[in-house]
Structure 1
């Protein structure tokens, strides 16, 4: 089975900077890491590879530094990585990003199964898996808690209204994975050494058979007009006392003073 895992480099800090000229996140020079739930997608891919055989290819889009986040996946069992990198891709929204990633998957020979984390911590849209599925004409299974392949059928369980439902889709398919799906394994020494030596193929826009006008801000259907950090919530007051009764008495007095009682 040919499994592709879509992974992403995201800012590793909560206090990120915003470019006021183009309303994009400032990624150059900022600490970065693998999108956390993508580690669960990698683990799911490796577990399926161990169960049914095949290969696991990691694909990411970004700057040259974005390729470095794939080394952790190589260290725990992924076979190779592919970096989609081109200045023309800067500013791509989920529509343009999905188009580029789908073309990259086709360029490397297609896939039987494409896995991804349910969302990224920077964009938080969850739109890439369905976008890629639509572009490729694949089945889509979202928010998987567990996965199993039986012939040409992908079986997944997911939470629904307080219970679990089992969903079956025909391969080829795209599947988004939850952070509760598994516990990502830790790399061993041999895997770490392999990851350090790994060389990633790099695909540019022309390699994907796309024009620069089809990606980046020019190829995006949305425009970010403003981006800002949310207002911090005020810190609540802690009321304590010598005993529970004393604390309750002080709480009642505090609420009464504010005309809340």
Structure 2
């Protein structure tokens, strides 16, 4: 079994700041992490590796610093890691990003399962995984909270608001993982040593993948972010004291003062 896991290095959202003049993220000094849902995707791939002796390849698109995310993935147990890094990829929206990743997957060729996280915490679009499946003409199951393999098929519980659907499809298939799927493991000491001393990360540029050059990067992105900003800080809350009757009375007074009622 061959598994490909698409991950993304994202800024820790608890530390994100916006440049008020440019409206862009201030990344200097901001810690970066593997996107949480992507860690669940990787963990599920590693569980299949443990059970079926699968080969796990981790793939990401980003600047050179994204190698750290790939090193962490290798330390967790992935077999191979590929970084797609080229100035031609810069400024990509979800369409251009998925096109680039799909081009790299075409280059890799033989695979049974592609794992992606449900969505990235710096965008929350949940579009890249499904778009990759469309580019590659693959069946897809999104929001996977439980997974089993039965021969050449996968059986997944797809989470919905008030329960789940049980879906079965043959491989190859693309799956997107949610946090309920598993608890990601920590890298072992041996895994960390191997990742940083023994294993190499392959770096692919535009020339190394199968892609239409007009569909990547900023020029190939049909959507663009016009402006980013941090919401205005809300005022401090007020705790009402007294008996229940006094609290209700004071609440009504304040709501009337603000013309809410």
CA shift for structure 1 position 18: 4.8
Q: What's the RMSD between the two structures over aligned residues?
A: 2.1
Structure 1 CA distance for aligned equivalents of residues 230 and 4 of structure 2: 34
SS in 2 for 1:185: coil
1:257: Cα distance to partner? 5.0
Q: Match of 1:146?
A: 146
Relative to structure 1, the CA distance from residue 229 to residue 146 in structure 2 (aligned partners, 3 Å threshold; closer, same or farther) is same
User: For 1:169-228, what per-residue CA distance to the aligned partner results, in whole angstroms no more than 9, with x for missing partners?
Assistant: 221111000111111112221111112122100110121144654311101111222222
Question: Is 2:119–2:127's contact at 8 Å kept on the other side of the alignment?
Answer: yes
**Which residue does 1:112 correspond to in 2?**
112
Distance across 1 between alignment mates of 2:48 and 2:134? 23
- Residue 233 of structure 2 aligns with which residue? 232
Q: Distance in 2 between matches of 1:40 and 1:159?
A: 15
Q: Quote the Cα distance in structure 1 between the aligned partners of 2:234 and 2:172.
A: 45
Tell me by how many angstroms 1:138 deviates.
Answer: 1.1
Contact 1:158 1:164 in 2 (8 A): yes
> How much does 1:82 deviate?
0.4
Which segments of 5 or more consecutive residues in structure 2 lack a partner in the other structure?
none
Equivalences for 1:31-50 in 2 at 5 Å? Answer: 31-50=31-50
Task: Tell me: CA distance 1:234–1:257, structure 2 relative to 1, closer, same or farther (3 Å).
Answer: closer
Deviations 1:108-129 (A, max 9, x none): 2342110011000001100011
Q: Is the 8 A contact 2:104 2:210 kept in 1?
A: no
Query: Against the structure 1 CA distance between its residues 109 and 258, is the aligned structure 2 distance closer, same or farther, given a 3 Å change threshold?
Result: closer
Q: What is the aligned length? A: 256
Are the counterparts in 1 of residues 13 and 122 from structure 2 also a CA contact under 8 Å?
A: no
- For the 8 Å contact 2:145–2:178, the answer to whether it is kept is yes
Match of residue 208 from structure 2: 207
Give the equivalent residue in structure 1 for 2:85: 85
- The SS at the match of 1:184 is coil
**CA gap 1:211/1:156 in 2 versus in 1, 3 angstroms:** closer
1:253 and 2:250 matched: yes
In the alignment, the residues of structure 1 paired with residue 117 and residue 48 of structure 2 have an alpha-carbon distance, to the nearest angstrom, of 16
Structure 1 residues 57 and 151: CA distance shift in structure 2, 3 A: same
Structure 1 residues not aligned, in runs of 5+: none
The question of whether the paired residues in 1 share the 8 Å contact of 2:18 and 2:228 is answered with no
Give CA-to-partner distance per residue, 1:41-81, whole Å, 9 cap, x none: 11100111122222011100000101211222211211111
Structure 1-normalised TM-score?
Answer: 0.90
TM-score, length basis structure 2: 0.90
